Chain A
């Protein structure tokens, strides 16, 4: 299946949905939602040309707030769901969207293995550092000691350093944006979707209802555009140090990108030299050649 890019491309309106938004006032989802639509429009991808997969969480309520082929699956499982689709049809860009609760607790194994497998897809982490939809419990990315729902005396566990984990897995694309900067998020997402391999995009987002520590104002004060300051995104060691250390400022932008690393499907011997996609190949197969060895 070859999808020709239309000459004129879609408009923002093509991605609009008749459904009313249900996020809280000031929720970072509004910004990320807008950036996703803008990135797709800028890439001249019409709604029928993309597949957006959603985890369960506040971000997942986006699943009927925009057009495009969508799959709203189970909590914690969006990455393998999207990876399966990306493997089956490499000609449709696949974007998986999940929260920090799902992706760094229940689904953390999927995240680990998808980075090492380098599936050809984009993963957008809606990182508000808590479980919003279930009313504000601590996630693995909540700051230690924060008082949260079910942790009234403060979260006892250490905070997981998500970027250190991601970089330990030898990723091919790592970016970080924040929900107040739609222009930068749009550019990051466009680059991520065009990346060949697994693109990890960490979107820091305000959760005005439950996150009282990394607020919109805090993010506004701490985030800076590392690319604008001349960061070389091809340098793994520098990128890792920059991504991991958020003690002073928080670097955003395309932090790391390795070009030309074969993605999962390109590594498969069984697929070498095939022009068609698994989706194109569904037909009855004569197994006569396979049965000779059993005679």
Chain B
């Protein structure tokens, strides 16, 4: 694996993100697969943040915990992130007259042959009479030169951004020249060695999981998005709001999460496609409405972007700790679907399925994502919509409407539990979408016999849905050493089982461990749970390993409940940090030895 990692660090608001984004775009266009991971704190200015880019000629889907270069905007970053450097790595910093006071740091530098470069950003900018913000281009230019990339590529990127402002463009170009000169004068023999670029990456898309999910929502024909700001769900609403004139969607920032979900339910009931997005605390507030959708059989799509709880927890970090909440939330018993995205590609593709299942089964659907997926930067092949809009038993044609009776809405006689659904404004007999237990037309009915019949009707939808859901995806190493989906069921040393955003680091880890027979079973559909494939594969495996981003092994708990499977080992991460390829490799190696 030819992977290069660059970590840009500094105080929030200093330009860490701009440098990261500019480098990412340039490197992708040069012919690399780029994976970007942002870390930041829950404040606007001053906290410590980082933007790490992992770069390769082959597909990579995660970060490495060790970097080839650390670029620091402040002295805090020099100290904090020094030990993130690999031996022989480069530390590029901008702190005047910096010395390593801590003898341990000095020892680390010497033992690991770290190259320390001081870039006099302030002095250069003063010379150019340029504002501090232009430091970002200067720093990017030095990094670009160290990567042995072409100056013209960077100039082109800058022209795209500032081409309409001639003065600014000239200053930017001057900064690029200064960056180039700095490298020639101070670090001519230093290089961050990239592999040969590969043409196939040049025209791919570089986008975050939230942007991909936004595109998935647009693609699925969703017309209303109502939400209340909460990290890490907010970037989704930000993206949808930014493109609303092109999409024509109604974007509503609601006064609270209950409003957001209620508006979504009202809009879905009226017959459009609508969705809301939130994180754990906001989802808590929405759960009464999820229960209402259970009994009123109203389709609902909620995006739950996870971060570590409980309480306010770690608002800007990642977790997979809300699976059991999504599966069990809401009072009473009712059918639902819980599913999870894992990267940009399925953040796009699965939104269509979320709406389809919500409408076909007339149930609430929770789509889990997390801070890692929501904010990571992915290089993806063109987003293709393989699904089509499926609206189930929605009746809209005049003939169908004229044949309806009010009692068709909640007829308990439907063998699969799914009734006809028709919309306000349709010329047909009317009904009441009812939050109370109800008779077939939505009228109140508190009789025991009716309560049982309606519960059976609704819960039958879970049985029907479980049969219709795709089984979990199984990944194996192909002959070319790439982890791909497979129908095989061959003998394995390790069967890994997981869900959500850990998939990227797991697949990358498998590719780093070519000499072992490792398979990964990835659960996209998490409730109801299909277990046939798991049992079949576990049978063929020396050892089963559960990998999750929570403390209890929540998917493992559900799987044990459903099919009595016992995992030989559990790799559980709950420190809020994104899973990294080398940490997964290390954990798997030790589990193989054990």
Contacts and interface: CB of A to CB of B under 8 A. Distances in A.
B250 A69 contact: no
Interface stretch (B140-148, B186-194, B436-444): B436-444
B245 A270 contact: yes
Contacts of B224: 84, 87-88, 278
B169 interface: no
A47 interface: yes
A81 B272 contact: no
A64 B442 contact: yes
Contacts of A1: 425
A84 B428 contact: no
Interface stretch (A147-155, A219-227, A240-248, A281-289): A281-289
B92 interface: no
B427 A48 contact: yes
B207 A294 contact: yes
A113 interface: yes
Interface string A165-192: 0000000000000000000000000000
A84 B425 CA distance: 15
Interface stretch (B214-222, B317-325, B447-455, B470-478): B214-222
User: What's the interface size class on A, roughly?
Assistant: 35 or more
Given A70-B431, A87-B224, A287 B252 contact: no
Contacts of A158: none
A interface majority secondary structure: mixed
Contacts, number: 218
A266 B247 CA distance: 17
A102 to B, nearest CB: 13
Interface residues of B, number: 73
B270 A64 contact: no
B292 interface: yes
A88 B435 contact: no
Nearest to A65: B443
A112 B440 CA distance: 36
Interface string A59-101: 0010110011111111001001111111111011000000000
Interface in A1-45: 1, 3, 17, 19
Contacts of B273: 282
Interface of A: 1, 3, 17, 19, 47-51, 53, 56, 61, 63-64, 67-74, 77, 80-89, 91-92, 109-110, 112-113, 265, 268-271, 274, 277-279, 281-287, 289-291, 294-295
Given A109-B255, A109-B259, A269-B244, 9 more contacts: A48-B426, A51-B424, A67-B430, A72-B433, A73-B265, A80-B258, A87-B252, A87-B267, A284-B221
19 contacts: A47-B430, A48-B424, A64-B443, A64-B444, A69-B424, A69-B430, A73-B292, A74-B288, A81-B265, A81-B266, A82-B266, A83-B266, A84-B264, A84-B268, A87-B250, A109-B255, A285-B221, A287-B215, A290-B215
